[in-house]
Amino acid sequence: MQKIWSGLVVVMSVFLTAAAPVDSGLTIYTEHFPPYSYLASDTVTGLNTELVRLSCEKAGLNCHFLLYPWLRAYEAAQKEPAAAVYSTSRNALREPLFKWVGPLAHSHANMYRLKTRPDINPATLEEAKRYVVAVARGDVYELYLQSQGFEHGVNLLGLTAKADAVGLFLQGKVDLLIGSELILPVWLAKYNETLDSIEPVLDLSVVGANYLALNLAVPNETVEKLQLALDELYSNGEYQRLMQLYIHNNSN
């Protein structure tokens, strides 16, 4: 598996952006990915949004947040010298493509099945190829599963956003759902369902934790300021306050 990931690094490296100066402002892209990022009253918010926003403020940066479909957000952050994107899984595939600040809020992902469908019982990724998995176009899980031999039109269904898979999954039109115990309660609540209706079958924690991924042209000094600011949010109790607001209270 490591050899496959290494090969993909070479392929993906064609997207690297040439170094260029960046001022004190950043355009920060994200996707609709509740509870981490979403629109509320025409404002981008969410747990990781607020972590990044507060980090920008502490670092003295003027950060402008935009919410796009994931593939568009990811590509924009690679092309624009004063740009970044979150919540981005950090792994060997993406490591050389960005500068990194994090980790942000995350929990490791699994493939889940409905408890009412015990026939969906893969014990390995190879066995999971017998079923249909929904992925967001350009998402790290799409790239990872493709690197393991999954194919669109066979066992992958490409969607615009991660959460779009939930309704199809609950209807039995998608066999396996990718998510974590942190985000799935929010997704399922929109359909009046809870974690009690699903169960994990395969661990996908190898894919990586959530980070803020910055264009390679962003100065190291800026990256360091953001990292120090984020570290302070973890140490001063602000992270715990945001967790209470966005996760435990399900306020979004």
| Secondary structure (3-state) at 188 | helix
**What does the pLDDT read at residue 30?**
98
| Average pLDDT of the chain, as a whole number | 90
Task: Determine contact, residues 90/100, Cβ cutoff 8 Å.
Answer: yes
pLDDT, one tens digit per residue, over 72-117 is 999 999 999 999 999 999 988 899 999 999 999 998 899 999 999 9
**What does the pLDDT read at residue 241?**
96
pLDDT, one tens digit per residue, over 111-140 is 999 999 999 999 999 999 999 999 999 899
* Helix or strand (DSSP H, E) at 57: helix 47-59
Categorize the per-residue pLDDT at 202 as very low, low, confident or very high, splitting at 50, 70 and 90.
very high
For the chain, the residue count is: 252
Residue 112 CA to residue 180 CA, distance in Å, equals 9
pLDDT mean over 10-33: 63
Task: Determine contact, residues 107/195, Cβ cutoff 8 Å.
Answer: no
Q: Cα angle vertex 104, ends 101, 105, to 5°?
A: 175
Q: What is the pTM of this model?
A: 0.81
